[in-house]
Amino acid sequence: MSMTNSSIHIRQNLPESIEQLRAQRSCYNIVEKMYIWRMIISIFLPIFSVSMYFLFDNDLANFVLILTGIGLLVCLMLEYYEKTYSVKGAKIQEMFDTQVFQINWNTALLGDKVSLEDIHLLALKDKTPESELANWYTGLVSDEERINILTAQRMNLSWTHRQKHKFKWVLILTFSIILISSIVIGCLIKLSLITFLITFIFPSLSLYTYLLKNFIEIHIQGKELQRVILLIEQYIENGSPKKSDLRSIQDAVYIYGRIPNHIVPNFIYKLLRPKYESSFEKTNKKLTTNK
């Protein structure tokens, strides 16, 4: 299909498309802030409370222990809203993609769309320069629009895979540094095993659990992403994909790429974006040339 008014290149830069991109970015910014506060409360408050318990054998220490329990309840509330906004952001991304790719909305999987009012209010909070949002999918040069769509879907999955692959090793490195540092400090000040466990390990269990759990989940997610990426490349190589193929791949983008709620810090996104944008544009051109 030639580059007409119905092409991806036109639709992705329509005002409503840019607004959807702004809205989903706002959602994920909210999620990241809630996540940071949840980590601060769930990790540092228990450590602080244990320190207070050993330093001050009085009502203040007991009060801090009670405060820790309240903090954990606050964490549960934050986690609930984290997931709510994460799903909302994923749905808005799906609204953007289904509009740009002209794919039917899968109500059975996605439920209802996010209201236009919510999208508008969320978009108002985002101050990203429009130049960073325009031409979201680049390097799509095939005359067959379905090939361009498959390539854009591959780009979505590849970006998620690469970003989370880097984050996975940040998690395990952080886990190793904290654990080794705790052991070294415990040995230097000659703590007994029980005191070491109470002072260093038990208060940090939520942190250790988070780091290991997310490392394992992201590793499993990465295998699923790679599997779907290879399937897309087969569709592109074979040519003439069916519309049902596009819809099934889009479902996989949502299930394996968007719903897993692993918050990758924004600094990793900003660090990787310039390099990967250039790489994806070249890869997309290669995949869609002469197709």
Q: What is the pLDDT of residues 3-19, one digit of tens each?
A: 444 489 999 999 999 99
pLDDT above 70 as % of the chain: 91
pLDDT value, residue 4: 44
Q: How buried is residue 198: exposed, middle or buried, by Cβ count under 10 Å (0-12/13-18/19+)? A: middle
pLDDT confidence band for 58 (50 / 70 / 90): low
Predicted model pTM: 0.86
Average the pLDDT over 269-290 and give the result. Answer: 87
pLDDT value, residue 261: 74
> Between residues 260 and 116, which one has the greater pLDDT?
116
Residue 52 has pLDDT above 80, yes or no: no
Residue 53 has pLDDT above 70, yes or no: no
Q: Which amino acid is at 155?
A: M
pLDDT value, residue 56: 64
pLDDT confidence band for 23 (50 / 70 / 90): very high
pLDDT value, residue 66: 76
The contacts of residue 280 (CB under 8 Å, 6+ apart) are: 138, 139, 155, 158, 159
pLDDT value, residue 273: 82
Q: CA-CA distance, 94 to 89, in Å (whole number)?
A: 9
Residue 166 has pLDDT above 80, yes or no: yes
Residue 84 has pLDDT above 60, yes or no: yes
> Between residues 186 and 236, which one has the greater pLDDT?
236
pLDDT above 90 as % of the chain: 59
Radius of gyration of the chain (CA): 23
Would you state the structure tokens that stand for residue 65, as one six-digit string? 């222990």
> Between residues 59 and 266, which one has the greater pLDDT?
266
Average the pLDDT over 57-85 and give the result. Answer: 79
Q: CA-CA distance, 204 to 237, in Å (whole number)?
A: 49
Say how many CA atoms lie within 13 Å of 65 toward its Cβ: 13
Domain boundaries, the chain: 1-136, 141-291
pLDDT confidence band for 168 (50 / 70 / 90): very high
The contacts of residue 165 (CB under 8 Å, 6+ apart) are: 218, 222
Residue 231 has pLDDT above 80, yes or no: yes
Residue 225 has pLDDT above 80, yes or no: yes
- 3-state per-residue secondary structure call for the chain: CCCCCCCHHHHCCCHHHHHHHHHHHHHHHHHHHHHHHHHHHHHHHHHHHHHHHHHCCCHHHHHHHHHHHHHHHHHHHHHHHHHHHHHHHHHHHHHHHHHHHCCCCCHHHHCCCCCHHHHHHHHHCCCCCHHHCCCCCCCCCCCCHHHHHHHHHHHHHHHHHHHHHHHHHHHHHHHHHHHHHHHHHHHHCCCCHHHHHHHHHHHHHHHHHHHHHHHHHHHHHHHHHHHHHHHHHHHHHHCCCCHHHHHHHHHHHHHHHHCCCCCCCHHHHHHHHHHHHHHHHHHHHHHHCCC
Q: CA-CA distance, 104 to 272, in Å (whole number)?
A: 32
Residue 2 has pLDDT above 60, yes or no: no
Would you state the structure tokens that stand for residue 195, as one six-digit string? 């005191």
pLDDT value, residue 262: 78
Mean pLDDT for the chain overall: 88
